[in-house]
Amino acid sequence: MKVSAALPPGVSALFFEAAKDRRRLEARLVQELEQRGFAEVILPILDYFEPYEPLLSPAGRGELYRFIDRAGDQLALRADFTPMLARLLAPRIAAVDLPLRLFYSGDVVRYQEVRAGRELESYQIGAELLGLSGPAAEAEVLTSFLELLTLCGVEEATVVVGFAGALDSLLLAAAGDPEALIRLGLAVNRRERSAARAAHPALLEVVEKGVPADAAVLGPAAPILERLHTLLEGLRARFPGLRLVLDLAEFARFHVDEKARQAADQRSYYDGILFRAYGPQRALPLGGGGRYDQLFRQVGAESVSAAGFYLAVDRILALTEEGGAS
């Protein structure tokens, strides 16, 4: 009988050198994380769906591979490490010494319409810093992310930094009501100039340059901008090969205003600094992360300051193998 070696679209098998390359990079990253005091957690690829349902937007639900097991429980393949880690740690978090530094690695599986280049399965290494609040945690997480990115051999990348909800006040003032705010937030996120221009001159500045000329238009979020400027200034000197860009439009869809979140049916758990790295000629991010203080409360624990990041290992390997490796 002839057996086909075909795999479903969006997944791949790694043989020989490709497998070695991934393991080599993974080992290097694991060693580096352990040296920084991060302890490994190994998480299952299969879990109950029900605990995560309140955290998922309709789009997020649509990306899950779900099924009913023999016991009648609805299960899902892992699509994100962070909520699973938070849920499993929630009952224990009051008993552990904080801050806690954890890392994990493995596949996440998300359904996407099958087209060339789409990944259904993506191998990630991620790290979480729990119990450290304020700018110190932001700086540690972003710095670790950049250091690991460069350690991977990424010589050239653009790292876009923003803050969840930084535009909420401006969007609400310009839009008038939460539903219009959602539409305007989406338009800013998609850099739609005419919508931004019509709503508020400062939004056109955000669309064009990433930040408004006068931070005061951001209302209560104005000091955050100053803080991020200072953070990035320090990091630029340390990472001259990386282009660090402060860009609030990139994350304009992340709201913290409760009315806006409800109107948008937003379930994203990010509520602070956000960042994403893009390699040259790569449209998909090499990694990203941010702060998510609300998540532990959402899964039933006391509030715990939390921030983390992930690196998309195979995307990084594809980039560095093309000549970006140091």
Partner 1 sequence: MGSKRPMRLALPKGRNLKVTVEALRAGGFQLAELDSDDRKLLFQAPADDLEIFLLKDWDLPLYVQYGIADCGVVGSDVLEERDGDLLVPVRLKGGGCRLSFIGPEGALPPAGSQVRLATKYPNVARQVLAAKPWGAEVMKLSGSVELGPILNLAEIALDIVQTGRTIRENGLVELEVVREVSPCLVVNRASYQQHRERLTTLIRRMEEAGVVA
The least distance separating partner 1 from the CB of residue 4, rounded to whole angstroms, comes to: 26
Q: 158 vs 298, which CB is nearer to partner 1?
A: 158
Please count the residues of this chain forming the interface with partner 1, following the rule CB under 8 A: 30
The window from 40-48, 192-200, 216-224, 303-311 that contacts partner 1 (CB under 8 A) reads 192-200
Q: What is the DSSP letter of 286?
A: S
The window from 46-54, 121-129, 134-142, 281-289 that contacts partner 1 (CB under 8 A) reads 281-289
The window from 40-48, 66-74, 135-143, 156-164 that contacts partner 1 (CB under 8 A) reads 156-164
Task: Give the chain's largest Cα–Cα span.
Answer: 71
Hey, which residues does 106 pair with through a beta bridge? 124
315 within 8 A of 295, measured Cβ to Cβ: no
- Positions 93 through 152 that interact with partner 1 (CB under 8 A): 113, 115-117
Hey, which residues does 68 pair with through a beta bridge? 74
Choose, by CB under 8 A, the member of 98, 139, 235, 245 that binds partner 1: 245
62 in contact with partner 1 (CB under 8 A): no
The least distance separating partner 1 from the CB of residue 239, rounded to whole angstroms, comes to: 16
Assigned token pair, 103: 């890392």
C-alpha–C-alpha distance, residues 136 and 142, integer Å: 10
C-alpha–C-alpha distance, residues 167 and 264, integer Å: 15
The least distance separating partner 1 from the CB of residue 42, rounded to whole angstroms, comes to: 31
160 in contact with partner 1 (CB under 8 A): yes
The least distance separating partner 1 from the CB of residue 75, rounded to whole angstroms, comes to: 27
The least distance separating partner 1 from the CB of residue 121, rounded to whole angstroms, comes to: 17
183 in contact with partner 1 (CB under 8 A): no
- Nearest residue to 50 via CA among 299, 268, 302: 299
88 within 8 A of 296, measured Cβ to Cβ: no
Q: 17 vs 156, which CB is nearer to partner 1?
A: 156
Hey, which residues does 39 pair with through a beta bridge? 102
Q: 161 vs 181, which CB is nearer to partner 1?
A: 161
- Cis bond upstream, residue 99 (ω within 30): yes
Q: 54 vs 117, which CB is nearer to partner 1?
A: 117
The least distance separating partner 1 from the CB of residue 174, rounded to whole angstroms, comes to: 18
**How many residues does the structure list for the chain?**
326
Hey, which residues does 105 pair with through a beta bridge? 125
- Nearest residue to 112 via CA among 159, 65, 149: 65
Q: 134 vs 323, which CB is nearer to partner 1?
A: 323
- Nearest residue to 76 via CA among 60, 58, 64: 64
Angle between helix axes 178-189 and 201-209 (nearest 10 degrees) is 30
Choose, by CB under 8 A, the member of 26, 63, 155, 293 that binds partner 1: 155
For partner 1, what does the binding mask look like between residues 205 and 234, x meaning CB under 8 A? --xx--------------------------
Contacts of 196 (CB under 8 A, 6+ apart): 184, 187, 188, 203, 204, 206, 207
Site of interaction with partner 1 (CB under 8 A)? 113, 115-117, 155-156, 158, 160, 190-194, 207-208, 243, 245, 247, 250, 278-285, 322-324
